[in-house]
Structure 1
Amino acid sequence: MILPDLLKDNLKIVFCGTAAGNKSAERKAYYAGSGNLFYPTLSSCGFTPRILTPVEFPNLLDYGIGLTDLVKHHFGMDKDLKQEHYDAKSFEQKILQYQPQLVCFNGKEVAKVYFNLKYTKQVGYGLQDKTIGNTKLYVAPSTSSAGRKHWEECIWQYLKNIIN
């Protein structure tokens, strides 16, 4: 496993990415790439009171936030991942076990894979119709620097408004 899941019962939100990026795998910390907007966005949207550093990711549990990925045993850019690396079934089992209020897919690519769609154009941002048990699903623009052209912080701000 590249990065351990950060999960416990009854979290407010679990963020799910595709896989650890190269820097995250190297540093053993979620969203560790220098251009990643994950931690600044959590702070600016009010999920955390300050910008955490990637090595502080375990502290997210203190704010009701968990982390996981659909690919747990490989790392790299999305374009380098293979279909067989994804494990949506294990992801679903974890969500059913821990029952967070909401899962937010960090980017359309991870949502596309989870929803078993062919194109990211088939994925819309925001709250989804599908749930996992009682857990609501949400898609937000990727915080990765590779996805900057699709960045819209307002979708992340709306996310903060729909969780308790």
Structure 2
Amino acid sequence: MDRLPDQLQPGLRLVFAGTAASERSAATGHYYAHPGNRFWRTLHATGLTPRLYQPEEYPTLRQLGIGFTDLCKQGAGMDHVALKAGVDVAGFTAKIRQYRPATVAFTSKKAASLFYGRPTSAIALGRQPEQDDFPTVFVLSSPSGAASGAWTLQPWLELAEHIVTTA
């Protein structure tokens, strides 16, 4: 059973893709639910949403053209624990190709490294090189409180500018 349901539909302008649900998100059933997570505040601060949304409102973001998924749908917790449940890159790729969002944003270098099959040290933040038959991809700094030391707003601002200029 999936820890968090995908929020995908045709025509989305942006899909956020994480590694796996946090323990708090799995317990509440809401994406980016931990109070220390910067996700919701950052969406609003960068202009990706018109107001500050709360984690329990995540399904309503589809109305704004924003969806959610994870590479590991069965695990929960910190990556070193959650990812033991397995990562489904092929399933993720199939979903993205099925729903065809305009842009995919990985919410950590770890999520992007799993997708690309490269170490996190080989992953750059920001817009990634274009791939045939795949949406534009951005890699964002993780909004998790556990990743505070690596936090930077810059790739989020770059994503927001891209979304506004391609809307």
TM-score (normalised: structure 2): 0.93
What's the offset of the Cα at 1:132? 6.3
Distance 1:83 1:153 in 2: 30
What's the offset of the Cα at 1:81? 3.1
Aligned to 1:80: 81
Aligned to 2:56: 55
Distance 2:127 2:84 in 1: 25
Aligned to 1:111: 112
Amino acid at match of 2:46: C
Aligned to 1:12: 13
Aligned to 2:136: 136
Unpaired runs of at least 5, structure 1: none
Aligned to 1:68: 69
Unpaired runs of at least 5, structure 2: none
Larger proportion of strand: 1
Q: 1:112 to 1:131 in 2, by over 3 A?
A: same
What's the offset of the Cα at 1:35? 0.3
1:69-123 CA distances to partner (integer Å, 9 max, x unpaired)?
Answer: 0001111111213466100000000000010001000010000111111x21100
| Aligned-pair Cα RMSD in Å | 1.3
Amino acid at match of 2:146: A
Contact 1:15 1:65 in 2 (8 A): yes
Identity of aligned residues (%): 37
Distance 1:60 1:93 in 2: 22
Distance 2:155 2:12 in 1: 20
Contact 1:42 1:51 in 2 (8 A): yes
Amino acid at match of 1:29: H
Contact 1:13 1:65 in 2 (8 A): yes
Distance 1:28 1:132 in 2: 34
Amino acid at match of 1:4: P
Contact 2:17 2:68 in 1 (8 A): yes
Distance 1:77 1:151 in 2: 17
Which stretches of structure 1, 4 residues or more, deviate above 2 A after TM superposition?
81-84
Distance 1:149 1:13 in 2: 26
Distance 1:115 1:126 in 2: 14
- Give the count of matched residue pairs: 163
